[in-house]
């Protein structure tokens, strides 16, 4: 199963500047001759894979990218200035496809990779260039070439930064819906979510991460009970798990233990992944009940849970902020590992 973030984008490279028609006019010089300069190239449109981005969300807000027109030529053989390029910065792993959404134009698979998607038009020649033995005073210059335009698709396979885990009905999908543009199905019965949903949480323009809502786990999930653990693969690579416990239940400690046991049984590093312990649905609890359920959970887990409600929004930002800090430190760790020099094997 693939989660795709995609965006359709319009590109236009810059038109070339026109050549100039001009003649030298100086004192004491008769028949000055043509001196119109050439127009300059229009800007290109490039795409570049950069570090630190992991979604294409920016391309939902800006869909048109145009490079600048080249400057026109001028008298005294002065050329115009080249038009500035436009550069689309995209996350590593972005695929660039033709408008048909099938033909691959480029795979932006490494940091720093740059590909030109539209070439700027050439500048037109000024009249100086048209001077020949026959026509010593051409009154003709070329216009600049038009830029190119095209529609492309950007496509990125999303990888979850943060995973939501919990029993069925814990409120995972509700929380995803409340914090992202995703619209997962929410209902008052277990196993509403049958396949994972991903959403992009947008804390600010520099603080974004991918949140995954996966089907609920029940006791025996690792042996195939319920929907099993097969969807846990989608959160294996995440930086942190948010473990939601339904505060409206009277057995919160047991609920937490059940899910922990399934994570342990699944393994693959999930058992050691950091976990934000979160008591959910506090909107439905009196202040005394909140304290009581939090205390029960703390006794079981050995640390205080955060408290939130995906319905009222209380405590949600705090949980997301803690998750974001984990995402940041995980990204820093990945960058560090990538930068570390490879150790060569010692050979006798």
Ligand X SMILES: Nc1nc2c(ncn2[C@@H]2O[C@H](COP(=O)(O)OP(=O)(O)OP(=O)(O)O)[C@@H](O)[C@H]2O)c(=O)[nH]1
- Residue-by-residue DSSP string for 156-183: EE---SEEEEESTTSSHHHHHHHHSS--
- Left (φ > 0), alpha (ψ -120 to 50) or beta: where does 93 sit? left
Closest C-alpha to 97, from 89, 108, 87: 108
Contact present, 142 and 124 (Cβ < 8 Å): yes
Judged by beta carbon, residue 155 or residue 307, the one nearer ligand X is: 307
Reduce the DSSP state of residue 289 to 3 states and report it.
helix
The interface mask with Mg ion, positions 123-162, x = CB under 5 A, is: ----------------------------------------
Q: Which does 69 bind (CB under 5 to 8 A by kind): ligand X, Mg ion, none?
A: none
Q: Beta-carbon neighbour count of residue 1 at 10 Å?
A: 7
Closest C-alpha to 235, from 164, 175, 139, 338: 164
The interface mask with Mg ion, positions 296-325, x = CB under 5 A, is: ------------------------------
- DSSP classification of residue 213: E
- Left (φ > 0), alpha (ψ -120 to 50) or beta: where does 242 sit? beta
Residues near ligand X (CB under 6 A) are 166, 168-174, 186-188, 190-193, 215-216, 280-281, 283-284, 309-311
Residue range at the interface with Mg ion (CB under 5 A); choices 23-31, 169-177, 225-233, 236-244: 169-177
Closest distance between ligand X and the C-beta of residue 208, in Å?
22
Judged by beta carbon, residue 74 or residue 255, the one nearer Mg ion is: 255
Closest distance between ligand X and the C-beta of residue 278, in Å?
10
- Based on the shown chain and the rule CB under 5 A, indicate whether residue 173 belongs to the binding site for Mg ion: yes
Judged by beta carbon, residue 214 or residue 306, the one nearer Mg ion is: 214
How deeply is 284 buried, as exposed, middle or buried, from its count of CB atoms within 10 A (0-12, 13-18, 19+)?
middle
Judged by beta carbon, residue 13 or residue 173, the one nearer Mg ion is: 173
Interface residue with Mg ion among 193, 258, 280, 309 (CB under 5 A) is: 193
Closest C-alpha to 241, from 321, 165, 320: 165
How deeply is 185 buried, as exposed, middle or buried, from its count of CB atoms within 10 A (0-12, 13-18, 19+)?
exposed
Judged by beta carbon, residue 6 or residue 192, the one nearer Mg ion is: 192
* Per rule CB under 5 A, count of chain residues that contact Mg ion: 3
Closest distance between ligand X and the C-beta of residue 118, in Å?
44
The full 3-state SS of 35-78, as one line of letters, equals: CCCCCCCCCCEEEEEECCCCCCCHHHHCCEEECCCCCCCECCCE
Q: Which does 171 bind (CB under 5 to 8 A by kind): ligand X, Mg ion, none?
A: ligand X
Closest distance between ligand X and the C-beta of residue 332, in Å?
31
Closest distance between ligand X and the C-beta of residue 223, in Å?
18
- Based on the shown chain and the rule CB under 5 A, indicate whether residue 6 belongs to the binding site for Mg ion: no
Binding site for Mg ion (CB under 5 A): 173, 192-193
């Amino acid at each position: 199963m693939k989660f795709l973030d995609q965006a359709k984008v319009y590109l236009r490279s810059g038109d070339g500047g026109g050549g100039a028609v001009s003649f030298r006019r100086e004192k004491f010089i008769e028949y000055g001759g043509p001196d119109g300069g050439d127009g300059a190239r229009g800007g290109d449109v490039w795409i570049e894979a950069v570090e630190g981005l992991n979604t294409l969300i920016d391309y939902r807000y800006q869909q048109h990218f145009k490079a600048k027109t080249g400057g026109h030529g001028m008298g005294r053989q002065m050329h115009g200035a080249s038009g500035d390029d436009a550069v689309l910065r995209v996350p590593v792993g972005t695929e660039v496809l033709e408008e048909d959404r099938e033909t691959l134009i480029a795979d932006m698979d490494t940091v720093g990779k740059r590909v030109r998607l539209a070439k700027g038009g050439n500048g037109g020649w000024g009249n100086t260039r048209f001077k020949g033995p026959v026509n010593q005073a051409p009154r003709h210059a070329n216009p600049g070439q038009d830029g190119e335009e095209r529609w492309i698709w950007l496509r990125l396979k999303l990888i979850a930064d943060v995973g939501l885990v919990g029993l069925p009905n814990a409120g995972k999908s509700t929380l995803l819906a409340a914090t992202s543009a995703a619209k997962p199905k929410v209902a008052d019965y277990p196993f509403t979510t049958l396949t994972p949903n991903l959403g992009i949480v947008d804390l600010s323009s520099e603080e974004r991460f991918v949140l995954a809502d996966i089907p609920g786990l029940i006791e025996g999930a690792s042996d195939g009970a319920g929907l099993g653990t097969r969807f846990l693969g989608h959160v294996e690579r995440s930086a942190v798990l948010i473990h939601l416990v339904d505060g409206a239940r009277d057995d919160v400690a047991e609920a937490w233990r059940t899910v922990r046991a399934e994570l342990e049984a699944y393994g693959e590093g999930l058992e050691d992944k950091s976990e934000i312990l979160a008591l959910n649905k506090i909107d439905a609890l009196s202040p005394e009940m909140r304290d009581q359920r939090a205390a029960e959970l703390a006794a079981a887990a050995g640390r205080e849970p955060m408290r939130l409600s995906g319905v009222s929004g209380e405590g949600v930002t705090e949980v997301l902020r803690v998750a974001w800090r984990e995402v940041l430190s995980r990204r820093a760790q990945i960058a560090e590992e990538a930068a570390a020099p490879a150790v060569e094997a010692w050979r006798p």
